[in-house]
Chain A
Amino acid sequence: MGDVAFHTATTVDEALALLGDGSDARVVAGGSDLIVQARHGKSLPGTVIAIHRVDALRTLTSSGDLVVGALTSHATLCADAGVRSNWTAIADASALVGSHATRNVGTLGGNVMNASPAMETGGPLIVLGASVTLRSAAGDREVAIEELWTGPGKTSANPGEICVAVTVPAQPAHTGSAYVRLEYRRAMEIAIVGASACVTLDDAGNVTAAKVALTALAPTIIRSPAAEAAIIGTDGNDEALAAVTAGASADAKPISDLRANEDYRRAMAGVIAKRAVAVAAQRARGEEFPIPATPVFMKGSGQ
């Protein structure tokens, strides 16, 4: 690595002042993306500004809208009772990140700003209609989460901006959400394919609104309009779920890499999206489903 200046900020204002226009400085929260990338030859900037002591960003309010300070860790998110009951897909996602150690240091702000198309919380934040608050010397601006990501590792934030919070609106009654990841192992895994769903039912149990997002299936996390259209207006029966499978596979734009080839990813996009929609609908009906909503391969295997 190189000659790196290091500062620890204790307020957002201090961090913003140190960051300047962001041309040769970067904030580090948990460091679980930034420092790992630095070990892969992506050198650190001339100045690293540690923000993990900015306690004002370590907040979580889950009455009314969900407002999550950027420094809130995955460990905190997936343990929060409000998140688990009302924005369950986020709890599913945070519970799957890395290992205990990764969830302790990794923050929601870091996950969102790192903009990996395979990142866990992205799909849930899209289907739940989240936005991020970006702060600069000029003040705050609110950006819809789908407008934040512009490509792998790229955001529409300016280099001099700091993400201070992620806001997720309160959801209507009879709404459930889920994030399901296709994984080869239970811990320390990167999504091969992921799918998120948020489903709202009317009193008769018919789907009045649905959003489906696909993870690791395009350069950014994308919505699947075909999967959404397939489930809205139905009661979530098997025929509708089969149409969700076909719709999600059609909307996926996967790549081949050493983890999975394109055809496999496309096929699994449908399967995983169907499971996400089915679990979201179950939760919308008030039925319990374990968090994270992923087959727990541990069961039975470790005895």
Chain B
Amino acid sequence: MKHAATLTVNGMAYPVELEGDTTLVRAIRDDIGLTGTKEGCDDCECGACMVMIDGRPVNSCTYLALQAVGSDVTTVEGLADGETLSNLQSAFLDQGGVQCGFCTPGMLVSAHALLRENADPTEEEVRLALGGNLCRCTGYTKIASAVMQAAKASV
């Protein structure tokens, strides 16, 4: 059963027609066409699908798209200002916090949400905030350093 609805993603309103059981990650990728958000496990374990809903991180693979109607959804595409990367994104490049890149959108979103709430976190707080994001490549050290660099840059 299709439901007509409007999703607000990165400040833009997108009219969509969604099944009742369509997950938010599928709506963002397939209906809206923003493919930065990744579907990894599709089981709420890996964090590749992380988006912000009203400023707070949510696993979009296990959130119904229609539940997000009326909320502001932010995806990784919403973190940069046009072509200008955010401090956090630049820090991932500087520190080598990206290898294959599959986890990166989710890492960026979780870290961005952390820095919104806590501009000056300890490394332990960074690692806890990224506890729901798995990376198979980097070993996490450079990701944590990148978030610490971005925090220092903005404090």
Contacts and interface: CB of A to CB of B under 8 A. Distances in A.
B66 A186 contact: no
B94 interface: no
A260 interface: no
B1 interface: yes
A8 B131 contact: no
Given A8-B66, A101-B59, A188-B45, A48 B124 contact: no
Interface in B128-155: 128-129, 131-133, 144
Contacts, number: 105
Interface stretch (B6-14, B50-58, B72-80): B50-58
A104 B59 CA distance: 10
A28 B67 CA distance: 9
B62 interface: yes
B110 A101 contact: yes
Contact of B62 (A36, A44, A187): A36
The A contact surface, by secondary structure, is loop
A298 B128 contact: yes
Contacts of A52: 67
A35 B50 contact: no
Contacts of B96: none
B105 interface: no
A4 interface: yes
Interface in B1-56: 1, 3, 19-21, 23, 42-45, 47, 50, 56
Interface centre among A5, A39, A50, A99 (most CB of B within 10 A): A99
B66 A101 contact: no
Interface residues of B, number: 36
B69 interface: yes
Contacts of B59: 32, 101-102, 105
A259 interface: no
A229 to B, nearest CB: 38
Contacts of B67: 8, 28, 31, 50, 52
A48 B132 contact: no
A32 B62 contact: yes
A98 interface: yes
A188 B132 CA distance: 6
Contacts of A28: 64, 67
Contacts of B131: 99-100, 186-188
A299 B62 CA distance: 31
A98 B132 CA distance: 7
Contacts of B50: 101
A42 interface: no
Given A4-B1, A105-B63, A302 B132 contact: no
A303 interface: yes
Nearest to A52: B67
B56 A104 contact: yes
A2 B21 CA distance: 7
A186 B130 CA distance: 11
A38 interface: yes
Contacts of A53: 70
A298 B126 CA distance: 11
B21 A100 contact: no
Interface in A13-48: 28, 31-32, 35-36, 38-40, 44, 48
Q: Which 8 A-B pairs have the closest CB atoms?
A: A99-B132, A187-B131, A4-B20, A6-B20, A1-B21, A4-B21, A35-B62, A101-B57
18 contacts: A1-B21, A3-B20, A4-B21, A5-B20, A8-B67, A8-B69, A31-B62, A31-B67, A39-B42, A39-B61, A53-B70, A99-B131, A100-B131, A101-B50, A104-B57, A186-B131, A187-B132, A302-B127
